[in-house]
A and B are shown apart, each in its own frame.
Chain A
Amino acid sequence: MKKSLLYLTLTVLILFGCNTGREITIPPAPQIELDSETGVYTVKAGKTICITPIVTYAEDALYTWTVGNNIVSREKELNFTAGQPGSVYVTLKVTNEHGTDSEDLRIDVLALAPPVISLAVPDSGFSIAPDSLLILKPLISNSKKATCLWKVDSVAVANTLEYVFSSAVLGTFSVALECENEDGKDGISFSISVIRPIVDEPGEEDPGEENPDDDEPGDDEPGDDEPGDDNPGDEDPGTEDPGNDGPGDEQPDYFRPVTSSSRTEWDIIHLYLPAPGQFINETVTGGFQGENTQEKANLYAANRLRSGLFISLGGFGGSLVLGFDHSIVNDGSYNLEIKGNAHKNSSEPGIVWVMRDENGNGKPDDTWYELKGSEYGKTGTISCYEVTYYRPRAAGQPVQWTDNAGKSGTIDYLGSFHNQDTYYPLWITSDSYTLEGTGLEARNYLSTTNTWINPAYEWGYADNHNSALFRISDAVTRSGESANLPYIDFVKIQTGVNAKSGWIGELSTEICSVKDYNMVKTE
């Protein structure tokens, strides 16, 4: 602009410099003033925006609006219909015979923001007793200007964000919620069964059989052993040294001694099944590449660990199961080394479980034994703690969970740090999945200096500051007795806390390496 004015003035001076005594008016070049102070316009996808700059000295001027190398308009105004969300860079040039002015501008196309309803509904709907209250409290994003309508058996009952259902009448009711704003609408429907509660027979305290294996989607291994409390094959294993002697005499023993080709590190990833979390599916620091099957997820975990990079187990219950190419002997001292990324004030403890390949099939389908740590047996520690995670119904949403203690919450979506579409593992095909394990009491808190502190536990947990070594002799049965395992073949590490620390997000165990410490000791 300034330059062209200068040239113009110079030209005029040269041309008419001697023409004294005559009055000259110099027609100036055009001057553009955008109708946006920042030069940035926003429009929602699919909508049209009209950009109307004020151009002075624009008589007989030519307008060109270009995007990239394409001229999109020669009009005085630009009518722009937005396509996909993103930024479009536009240049406006206005030229007349006296010069040219040009301005860059940007049109930010925003995604539509229709409401998205999230409600943790059990697979077969809700079941309640007559006259009891069921508080339905869905998470609704973009709910600010939305109108909502609840219907029970097609009859409108409320237009609030929450609804309390109750019925004196027995039966199954179909409940629907629909929310709408100017960008679109969303709806869910589910059933509520009002049934008479079954009165427990006295003395039947322990409900059903317990299954210590996780509900692992995609892991439909046939012939899962019925895991008893104690394994009869494990009588007095401590009296033998499996490193020298052969197998026991009663049961076949599949002990695999260390050979010259044995690896100190784990050999096979059997199952990588994280809970939802900020690093799950994340491409930048998490290093995921759209893994959408369990096999690919296992391979991801293997490649990450082989490269010395961390893998995250996500929130509570997320786990990694791996095997060694030899059996790891219980010598009463430390036998396993598991490294995470804990440091002072940042511990995200994982429970370590071990398994002996009792049936010798090379698969982790026998009994898991927990390695007790400092929290074992304490009142705040819950065994058989179950958390169910629900797939978000749209991108950028938190993951809802419910637990078997009647609590619910979310794994928060932290878009400014980890903006992958979803924190729910892409390879989990079901819309919800349940993880079971031992839950530790959370210790995290917000300090007076406004930083989140995740303190360490005393001993016995993975990704816990200053504790990376584990003893097989700490293995306990479900009933709390010492498991007396002579050796183990498989290791499982599982996030042990269901908690979150503000903007840092959920507590999730991270694993960097898993080694046979017996071999490290002799190296």
Chain B
Amino acid sequence: MIKPFSITAWVCLFLCLPACMKYGPSAEEEFDVSGKGLFIINEGNFMYGNASLSYYVPGTGKTENEVFLRANGINLGDVAQSMQLYDGKGYIVVNNSGVIFVIDPVTFKVTGTITGLISPRYIHFISKNKAYVTDLYAEKITVIDPLACRITGNIPVKGHPSTEQMVRYGNKVFVSCWSYDNMILVINSETDQLTDSILVASQPSALQIDCNGKIWCASAGTLYRINASSHEIEKTFPLSGDGLFSRLCLNGARDTLYYVNKSVWRMDVSADRLPVKPFIEYDRELVYGLAVDPVTSQVYTADAVDYVQQGVVYRFSPQAVPIDTLRTGINPGAFCFK
């Protein structure tokens, strides 16, 4: 009901951007942050249009908040879901605004927008000219040309209205079907055809692929290890009681898996059982986001506090020693290393 309006609103906004920005009330700030850094994607609150982007340079202790707004003079939109860097550009998927912003990761300036999406969640790059976009409310995966910023086609996924995360193995893309679903779809990235599906327990969300070609899938209270070439479920790791797997991450070498089940846990990808001791123990707070630096193996956890005030991100050493506390925007949920 509100979504079509939002998309139209964004399109209108962008059509008039070049004309009115000079005179607009928000001054545009000049950023020039080359080198390593971390983007923190703050979801904001659903229907509030208060998503934001934070930028942190590890070791500086300084977090720049609202960098998207400050660099461009416009808001990021409603529910920023994820971000990927590819070929020198940052792609921010703004779920409830139905838009993907393309930014220069050094100046944070918008260099393009991809619109016409329903409720996009994640983007996965196949090549310079092809990427897949999953969607919360569309029975299709949208194929886009990231260079041209336009939709080039779609892959129908009938019966799966909520597609979520993606990983690739050779020319196969594995897609989790999340909301009220129980499937992982397999798509041939050359032909854009659906070729197979893997049945798992309810609501698979997070996907990772490790150094041995094994796919790790978090599906409610069960963690799966799936052989990416045979599509066979090799091992299931059930949690006891009301445990729930939420976030999954791999280190840079992709041989160590990190996951959230209330606490943060770490396990070797060759392990045949779940660890018995938490890596970072959480008792009451909810870990809203998790990331592992691919180079330093430092660990970041996000705390949404009460979902209303500014969130907090904690940085830990590779041995789980706390190092830093950052104040971010509202509901920090995703990270993107530069």
Contacts and interface: CB of A to CB of B under 8 A. Distances in A.
Given A283-B284, A310-B308, A416 B276 contact: no
Given A89-B277, A105-B276, A344 B47 contact: yes
Given A39-B276, A89-B277, A309-B309, A419 B47 contact: no
Interface string A286-314: 00000000000000000000000110000
Interface size range of chain B in the complex: 10 to 19
Interface string A333-351: 0000000010110000000
A103 B307 CA distance: 40
B306 interface: yes
Contacts, number: 37
Contact of B276 (A104, A341, A344): A104
> Which of B45, B47, B240, B276 has most chain A Cβ within 10 Å?
B276
B21 interface: no
Interface in B259-306: 273-277, 284-285, 305-306
A402 B179 CA distance: 38
B32 interface: no
A256 interface: no
Contacts of A309: 306, 308-309
B276 A40 contact: yes
Interface in A33-77: 37-40
A343 B274 CA distance: 41
Interface in A98-114: 104-106
Given A344-B47, A419-B284, A285 B306 contact: yes
A446 interface: no
Interface string A1-42: 000000000000000000000000000000000000111100
B242 interface: yes
Given A283-B284, A343-B47, A419-B284, A37 B306 contact: no
Interface string A477-504: 0000000000000000000000000000
Contact of B273 (A37, A89, A283, A310): A37
Given A284-B285, A341-B308, A40 B240 contact: yes
A310 B306 CA distance: 10
B284 A284 contact: yes
Interface size range of chain A in the complex: 10 to 19
Interface of A is mostly: loop
Interface string A415-436: 0100100000000000000000
Contacts of A104: 275-277
A142 B36 CA distance: 55
A458 B306 CA distance: 28
Nearest to A284: B284
Contacts of B276: 38-40, 89, 104-106
> Which of A105, A284, A343, A344 has most chain B Cβ within 10 Å?
A284
B273 to A, nearest CB: 6
Contacts of B306: 284-285, 309-310
Nearest to B272: A37
A341 B274 CA distance: 40
A284 B284 CA distance: 7
A1 B318 CA distance: 23
A398 B274 CA distance: 34
Interface in A68-91: 89
Contacts of A341: 308
A106 B285 contact: no
A344 B45 CA distance: 12
A341 B45 CA distance: 12
Interface string B33-74: 000000000000101100000000000000000000000000
A106 B277 contact: yes
A88 to B, nearest CB: 10
Contacts of A105: 276
Nearest to B262: A416
A106 B285 CA distance: 22
Interface string A259-276: 000000000000000000
A283 B307 CA distance: 15
A419 B282 CA distance: 14
A37 B273 CA distance: 8
Given A104-B277, A285-B306, A343-B45, 17 more contacts: A37-B273, A38-B273, A38-B274, A38-B276, A39-B274, A39-B276, A40-B240, A89-B277, A106-B276, A284-B284, A284-B285, A284-B306, A309-B306, A309-B308, A310-B306, A343-B47, A419-B284
22 contacts: A38-B240, A38-B274, A38-B276, A39-B273, A39-B276, A40-B240, A89-B276, A89-B277, A104-B275, A104-B276, A106-B276, A283-B284, A285-B307, A309-B306, A309-B308, A309-B309, A310-B308, A341-B308, A343-B47, A343-B48, A416-B242, A419-B284
Q: Kindly list the 9 A-B residue pairs having the minimum CB-CB distance in the complex, ordered from nearest.
A: A106-B276, A285-B306, A39-B276, A89-B277, A284-B284, A104-B276, A38-B273, A39-B273, A105-B276
Interface of A: 37-40, 89, 104-106, 283-285, 309-310, 341, 343-344, 416, 419
Interface of B: 45, 47-48, 240, 242, 273-277, 284-285, 305-309
